Structure 1
Amino acid sequence: MTSAKSPLRIDIISDVMCPWCIIGYRQLSRALESTGTPHEIHWHPFELNPNMPPEGQDGFEHVAEKYGSTRAESEDSRARMTALGADLGFEFQWAEGFRMHNTFNTHQLLHWAGEQGRKDDLKQAFFSAHFTHRRDLSDVAVLADIASEIGLDRKEAVAVLDDQRFANTVREAEQFWQRQGIQGVPAVVFNQKHLVTGAQGVENYTNILHHLENEET
């Protein structure tokens, strides 16, 4: 598609609390694989719930409060996401007591991991930790454990969160994307000029990639 010298730049603005973010990413990955598109992915921070308290919130309560969804509607949505995830090789394990958490610390660790070329690895680990294993991503010890499990230095991960050294950097990145008009996730920007929002599906992403290929020729 694009030349080897110019891989398709893909900026993804997302939050690991967002189920549609991992679904959309897996759909995009399928499309990239099927088209053989040379690409480079850049992850960027977005907090769905920046004012979430430390203890988090029950998932059903959160969706009802934020979107006005009934429990039945939430259960239907979860079933749909579970089916979509299974088709894409990702396991959602919803259960009574599933909680949403503040993710500011996860974004700081992702920035730190990115300095070591491991942002994508940690991002995927966080998605699995939250949605498949229901681990508490507001707990510093849990975050450090997950970093360690992919081969990053656990003590340094704890230190990063203890001194909040990347707090301003993350805030600035979040504010940058908000100024670009990003109000929800997933948001995907191709070649720094084509914005696509939401989980589009493998077919739509494939069509987008073909369109971009034709644009380049």
Structure 2
Amino acid sequence: MTEPLRIDIVSDVMCPWCIIGYRQLSKALDATGTHHEIHWHPFELNPQMPPEGQNTREHIIEKYGSTPEQSEQSRQQMKALGSDLGFAFEWTEDSRMHNTFNTHQLLHWANTQGRMHDLKMALFTAHFTDQRNLSDDAVLVDIAAEIGLDRVEAAAVLDDQRFANDVRSAEQFWQKQGISGVPAMVFDRKHLVTGAQGVENYTSILSQLAEMKG
């Protein structure tokens, strides 16, 4: 059995391109039959975001200077891409961006249970498809419990912030590697690919990596 290809993915569940990129990569992994292991890492798109969050459209216009028309066009583009990949973006006028520091702490804890990937997927769906409030710890605990994680333990992790320093350290590590935007994927610990590249490009990258190893 060959050693699995290590793929480190730095991302935030507030980032639509992170789930699009992951779904594209996943299709490419299936198509190439690549033996792999995925490791998720934290990145906060909006570390200064207040606890109550901010309206998504207002936030995008404020942060990137987009016009409402550009913002809508971008949503439709992502919606179409998501649909092709089996993921539903269901934005509304009331969609909100949230502070994800607690989300990352919960993911860190889920990793100790071997369930980080499952929780990550559940959080993407909760945020983009179901419009749930990830600023609310009770909602985060509900999502963890829905995938079979221990509700009491999940609540305790958020309450005592036991993984706060670990998450901060991990975020700082990736920032020091020059990661300033997500998704950022590192293949085999040395090949960095940023942004959602599309199924064909990921397939090509995986094939090249297999040749290099071969």
TM bucket normalised to smaller: over 0.9
Deviations 1:120-177 (A, max 9, x none): 0000000000000000001000000000000001111110000000000000000000
For residues 77 and 38 of structure 1, the distance between their equivalents in structure 2, rounded to whole angstroms, comes to 34
State whether structure 2 residue 128 is matched by structure 1 residue 131. Answer: yes
| TM-aligned CA deviation for residue 76 of structure 1 | 0.2
Structure 2 match to 1:198: 195
Structure 2 match to 1:100: 97
- Pick the aligned partner of 2:15 from 10, 13, 18: 18
Structure 2 match to 1:62: 59
For residues 190 and 42 of structure 2, the distance between their equivalents in structure 1, rounded to whole angstroms, comes to 18
Structure 1 match to 2:119: 122
Secondary structure in 2 matching 1:117: coil
Residue type at the aligned position of 1:155: V
In structure 2, the gaps of 5 or more residues are none
For residues 156 and 15 of structure 2, the distance between their equivalents in structure 1, rounded to whole angstroms, comes to 26
| TM-aligned CA deviation for residue 27 of structure 1 | 0.1
State whether structure 2 residue 40 is matched by structure 1 residue 43. Answer: yes
Q: How many residues align?
A: 214
For residues 59 and 121 of structure 1, the distance between their equivalents in structure 2, rounded to whole angstroms, comes to 25
For residues 205 and 128 of structure 2, the distance between their equivalents in structure 1, rounded to whole angstroms, comes to 28
In structure 1, the gaps of 5 or more residues are none
For residues 7 and 155 of structure 1, the distance between their equivalents in structure 2, rounded to whole angstroms, comes to 34
- Pick the aligned partner of 1:151 from 135, 148, 157: 148
Give the TM-score of the pair, scaled to structure 2.
0.99
For residues 93 and 169 of structure 2, the distance between their equivalents in structure 1, rounded to whole angstroms, comes to 36
Residue type at the aligned position of 1:76: Q
For residues 71 and 154 of structure 1, the distance between their equivalents in structure 2, rounded to whole angstroms, comes to 40
- Pick the aligned partner of 2:186 from 181, 186, 189: 189
For residues 42 and 199 of structure 1, the distance between their equivalents in structure 2, rounded to whole angstroms, comes to 17
For residues 117 and 91 of structure 2, the distance between their equivalents in structure 1, rounded to whole angstroms, comes to 24
For residues 57 and 147 of structure 1, the distance between their equivalents in structure 2, rounded to whole angstroms, comes to 24
| TM-aligned CA deviation for residue 12 of structure 1 | 0.1
| TM-aligned CA deviation for residue 5 of structure 1 | 3.5
For residues 105 and 18 of structure 1, the distance between their equivalents in structure 2, rounded to whole angstroms, comes to 16
Identity %: 73
